[in-house]
A = this chain, B = another copy of it.
Amino acid sequence: MPGSHPARSRRTTERKGDVRERSILDTCEALLAHKGYDAMTVGDIATGAGITRGALYFYFGSKQEVVTALVARTVEHLWERSRAAAETDEPRPAIAAAMRRTVELWNEHGLVMRTAIDLSLTVPEIGELWSHTADLFSTAITAVLERAGVQAGTEPEQASAMARALCWMIERTFYHASQESREKLRQASSTCEHIWLISAGLTT
């Protein structure tokens, strides 16, 4: 209603399709939770979203595209959260904050993150998305290590390579822990934080 002229720049009403698209993604996420990727069929998703298979193909070209969109939506959320991360200068609190944030992310989006990791090999787009996400984390870890006194550089025992390894450690540890329980996730976080601290030379 505001802006009497046909102010063309901003779409006033939300397309019906936008709602559908979101509900398809939501359904997909739900199905992923109790059937898993393989068992989940395109028909299942369509039915869950209240439409037929044919209609679904109007929105997405394939099952993979649906999941890719779901991953993209989730990963975008991760990126926002990453950007919002307070840039603490001191390594010790920076590490603590990072791990706290990581627990939150896996608590909220564990399912989709695990799916993204699983499909990284078979669906190139998802692989791209996830590898970019890993890069963000890896870069952040590198910065902390360097600020803590670890020698900068890309040689196997310098900050960059160590950060990559720590990144994979965290990914895999959380991947498994998030399948079990929140408690496991907390413990996993504790262990990873400890190893990260030691690797940064911040022992005691």
Given A169-B169, A173-B165, A198-B199: A122 in contact with B191 (beta carbons within 8 A): no
User: C-beta contact mask, A151-168 vs B, less than 8 Å → 1, else 0?
Assistant: 000001100011011101
A31 located at the interface, meaning its Cβ lies under 8 Å from any Cβ of chain B in the complex: no
The distance in angstroms between the C-alpha atoms of A38 and B122, with both chains bound, is 7
What is the CB-to-nearest-CB distance from A40 to chain B, in angstroms, rounded to a whole number?
12
Q: List 19 A-B contacts (CB under 8 A).
A: A36-B121, A38-B122, A118-B118, A156-B187, A156-B191, A156-B194, A161-B187, A161-B191, A162-B194, A165-B195, A166-B169, A166-B195, A168-B168, A168-B172, A171-B172, A172-B172, A195-B195, A195-B199, A199-B199
The distance in angstroms between the C-alpha atoms of A121 and B35, with both chains bound, is 12
Which of A38, A157, A199 neighbours the largest number of chain B CB atoms within 10 Å of its CB?
Answer: A157
Which chain B residues lie closer than 8 Å to A190 at the CB level?
156-157
Determine whether the beta carbon of B164 is less than 8 Å from that of A173: yes
What is the CB-to-nearest-CB distance from A38 to chain B, in angstroms, rounded to a whole number?
5
The distance in angstroms between the C-alpha atoms of A122 and B40, with both chains bound, is 12
Which chain B residues lie closer than 8 Å to A121 at the CB level?
36, 114, 118
The distance in angstroms between the C-alpha atoms of A173 and B161, with both chains bound, is 10
Given A168-B173, A169-B169: A157 in contact with B191 (beta carbons within 8 A): yes
The distance in angstroms between the C-alpha atoms of A173 and B198, with both chains bound, is 19
**Complex: chain B residue closest to A200, CB-CB:** B198
A192 located at the interface, meaning its Cβ lies under 8 Å from any Cβ of chain B in the complex: yes
Contact pick for A164, options B38, B161, B166, B191, CB 8 Å = B191
Which chain B residues lie closer than 8 Å to A176 at the CB level?
168
